[in-house]
Structure 1
């Protein structure tokens, strides 16, 4: 890892923002405006409407009629979000590309910050940053966010990959990612067999062959939180999230990746242990907080699926002891309460580290 100060490129980079849309037509003007008002880049927008029944395509076409930098792709029938992503990405002709949901917003200056980094470091294929969650409409003060001082973190791809495997975590949210189009072409399309962790798998495939950059400081994207978010409406539990992470990590042992990452099976083994540790830790935390034993048993199932010898590890034996006490009706001990408080503080420290350099 290295930390670098930003330096501006001499000319404007060409960037295409692919906007997949399904029933989000009322959000389209906002996200398109956030793209076309970006400074020091030459932006284009491709809106891909996936047969929305709410009139989204009419909104998209009206926007395209007003600005030649916008093009619209309209599906005759609903193809699902992965096919929609791939359809839009296949049409990109610019040097850089990003995929932004119709309900999210590109932060002021985000595209120039990301492309400056990739132009300064030709081996960096993907840049991410800090996403900010919001509800309702964005606040005007956010326009000033781009003025915040920033720096860059540059990771060798395999180094970033190792940290992700060891922690069993995805350090990237998604709307803040900007890629080098040549890297996107090499990585290939999103995996249709992983509809709920395809983005994470995509970052893993990218890191197998490209370095990873991160913008530290200002927000790179605004992620809208509402009742229709996929992760809220369908995949809201941490157990399921862990299962999807594990499914994404399995790409590391595929022939596609091992051609570029000869020790991919070793990375996968580390990732499986990382998922196991994470699941066992969450099971412990649930019990230490006085949560239901059923939840911890579900976490234990995830841990065993990732690493069959999970119950034999030190953390697994510790969890077994806690489960026996909880099943017998015993309340968490003072030590358990203290441990949970310590873990809470440790998580805060890791959150600060993630904000600073992009991993935790």
Structure 2
């Protein structure tokens, strides 16, 4: 079977680290290495990592004396990797049963696939209910393979990061060719990386749960999720960074950049409306201004096509408005 390298960056997540490691070791992949990179944690994470490495020869440890940031850890992991396939798994998250076998099967069968991804289920407040153990008989079913440039164009039409980072299993050779994550994109370096990886081949997605992400207040990303305007601006920066570099070879680059701006404006319009009905008028005003800047004269009109691009759009609108009214009624 093919070999896999898994890098687990850790900062202050020592209490979660054993579960993350166990979720990798239980994948049933014999040729497997794990690198835990501790970013100068003060919660005893380094001791936990050392103990795990003492118990399992597959586990290696890199301990930083100074916090270098998550991007530096990702890039250290890329430099360390030498297996056929490569995965970055956050220390507070877990792989779902069968995730590696599913990904390796499709990538071994289809050598054009540059990376795979799948469903990333959420565990709110750190309470994890693992998905049922996968049946080996169906691990090859349900994959959809898309040409890499078509994947990029689809993301430009709906510029939302639909790829769960913990589910992304990529060819190490492709990751090496794509290079490091960019430190200039502290919030959306992963979104830009999916675009870059897609320039090297096809993208395969499975309907299976591939990873479990914990949602808890200590996450750095939790603060980012609550900064709505920042989210839109950073997504835009990720796309523009891609087209300034690797994506510059696309013959329709300028049109795609304009499409990204326009579609982000449409998304911001509906987000502004949602925040307004929830009584968050300042956030709504900021988002509406962002929308108008990117949509021009069309900025005052509801972009209904954005809604109809989503599943069950009428139901989504109803849910947004109902939730907004409930929020306003709460003390």
Following superposition of structure 1 onto structure 2, how do residues 294-309 of structure 1 map, counting pairs within 5 Å?
Answer: 294-305=282-293, 307=294
Choose the corresponding residue for 1:154, options 129, 145, 155: 145
* Structure 2 residue matching 1:25: 3-state secondary structure: coil
What residue is the counterpart of 1:330 in the other structure?
none
SS for the counterpart of 1:59 is: helix
The CA deviation at 1:142 is 2.9
Distance 1:193 1:61 in 2: 32
> How far off its partner does 1:344 sit?
5.0
Aligned residues, how many?
Answer: 307
Please report the TM-score for the alignment, with normalisation by the length of structure 2.
0.86
**Offset of residue 252 of structure 1:** 3.3
> Cα distance, 1:40 vs. partner?
4.3
Q: Deviations over 1:133-173 (max 9, x none)?
A: 1143534x634255695410101111111111111211112
1:1-360 equivalences in 2 (<5 Å): 12-134=1-123, 135-139=125-129, 142-145=131-134, 149=138, 150-216=141-207, 218-259=208-249, 261-287=250-276, 289=277, 291-305=279-293, 307=294, 310-313=295-298, 316-318=299-301, 343-346=313-316
Alpha-carbon distance, 1:126 to partner:
1.2
Name the Cα RMSD after superposition: 2.3
Judged with a 3 Å threshold, the aligned counterparts in structure 2 of structure 1 residues 257 and 343 are, in CA distance, closer, same or farther, namely closer
- The answer as to whether partners of 2:228 and 2:283 remain within 8 angstroms in 1 is no
Gaps of 5+ in 2: 303-311, 319-331
CA-to-partner distance for each residue in 1:249-290, whole Å, 9 max, x for gaps? 11232143324x343333222111111111122223444x46
Query: Which of these two proteins has the greater Rg computed from alpha carbons?
Result: 1
Runs (5+) with no aligned partner, structure 1: 1-11, 320-341, 349-360
For the residue of structure 1 that corresponds to 2:233, the secondary structure is: helix
For structure 1, which segment, 130-139 or 168-177, has the greater mean C-alpha deviation from structure 2 after superposition? 130-139
Following the alignment from structure 1 to structure 2, what is the Cα–Cα distance between the partners of residues 256 and 144?
Answer: 39
Task: Answer yes or no: is the 8 Å Cα contact 2:71–2:183 preserved in 1.
Answer: yes
Deviations 1:81-126 (A, max 9, x none): 1001111221001000000000000111000101111112211111
* Aligned twin of 1:336: none
Are the aligned partners of 1:99 and 1:175 in contact in 2 as well (CA < 8 Å)?
A: yes
Question: Once superposed, which parts of structure 1, at least 4 consecutive aligned residues long, lie more than 6 Å away?
Answer: none
Cα offset for 1:186? 1.0
Asked whether the equivalents of residues 108 and 146 of structure 1 are also in contact (C-alpha less than 8 Å), the reply is no
**For the structure 1 residues 27 and 293, does the alpha-carbon distance in structure 2 shift closer, same or farther, using more than 3 Å as the test?**
closer
Distance of 1:154 and 1:86 partners within structure 2: 27
Distance 1:46 1:290, change over 3 A: closer
| Deviation per residue, 1:325-353 (Å, 9 max, x gap) | xxxxxxxxxxxxxxxxx8451579xxxxx
